[in-house]
Amino acid sequence: MSSAINITPRLLYQVDFNVQSNGKIIGATKRQVTFRFGFADPEALANGCVGVNCRGEEHEVVCIWSVASGKETVMLDGKVIHHVEQPKSGGFQDKMERNFNFGKRHVLKVVAHASAPTAGAKNMDGSEQRQFDLLLDGISFFKFSKLFELGCGEEKAIM
């Protein structure tokens, strides 16, 4: 007798993306980036619901990063999951990239660049390079479904 594990794909959607410059003297030296996303309610989708009626479990990732001092704080749903007061190299940091376990089977990756990429810049996988991104199991936040797309057959699923 075999025991099969049922892993249902979960549908991702964007809720909000926000960037603020919060430096005391020079605003652009301290960034606060917020990503809000969710997993669609599979029961609502199965019942034929669309858009906001499919909202399910939602999460917020906030990254606060000082490019001048290198201080970093990453919060998941209001709880600090990463904090560094002084980076190893000290001084100006041009990139921050951190990985975190999320739930039992997922990995979150936060990527932040001090300056915006040049127009048309691509990542190694050919996707558009962004100044700030959040990846869930390698899927960019900007590739998640929009809330209004839920239930319309255009959703992005992960296992």
The model's pTM: 0.81
In this model, does residue 9 exceed pLDDT 60?
Answer: no
Average pLDDT for residues 2-13, to the nearest whole number? Answer: 54
Q: What pLDDT was estimated at residue 53? A: 93
In this model, does residue 154 exceed pLDDT 90?
Answer: no
Q: What is the CA radius of gyration of the chain?
A: 18
Half-sphere exposure of 138 (CA within 13 A, CB side): 5
Average pLDDT for residues 14-28, to the nearest whole number? Answer: 80
Q: How far is CA 121 from CA 23, 47, 57, 125, 139, in A?
A: 27, 41, 33, 11, 18
Instruction: Provide DSSP, 74-89.
Output: EEETTEEEEEESS-SS
Give tens-digit pLDDT for 23-39: 666 656 788 999 999 99
Q: What pLDDT was estimated at residue 90? A: 56
78 alpha-carbon distance from chain centroid: 14
Give residue 12's identity as a one-letter amino acid code.
L
Strands (DSSP E) contained in 40-102 are 57-66, 72-76, 79-84, 95-102
